[in-house]
């Protein structure tokens, strides 16, 4: 899966994290300044609903729900 990011050139210390619906963090990665995409290998993830959250210096800049289907 590819997460497309916008405006990363303007924000420092960007992090992409994904959580399952129980709140368990299943993915966490730093994002480079100017980076436009992050590729996730979700092949081992359990089917269900997840939340991707992008933060900069601890502030939420965006979030999006997505479904993993098998």
Q: For residue range 1-11, what is the model confidence (pLDDT) as tens digits?
A: 999 999 999 99
Domains, the chain: 2-68 (2.60.40)
Average pLDDT over residues 20-37: 96
Measured CA distances, 13 to 45, 46, 53, 54 (Å): 26, 29, 14, 10
Average pLDDT over residues 30-39: 95
Cβ(24)–Cβ(62) under 8 Å? Answer: no
Measured in degrees and rounded to the nearest 5, phi and psi for residue 69 equal -115, 150
pLDDT band at 15 (very low <50, low <70, confident <90, very high): very high
């Amino acid at each position: 899966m590819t997460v497309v990011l916008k405006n990363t050139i303007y924000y420092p210390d960007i992090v992409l994290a994904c959580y399952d619906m129980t709140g368990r963090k299943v993915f966490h990665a730093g994002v480079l300044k100017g980076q436009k995409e992050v590729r996730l290998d979700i092949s081992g993830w359990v089917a269900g609903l997840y939340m991707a959250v992008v933060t900069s210096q601890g502030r939420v800049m965006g979030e999006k729900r997505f479904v993993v289907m098998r």
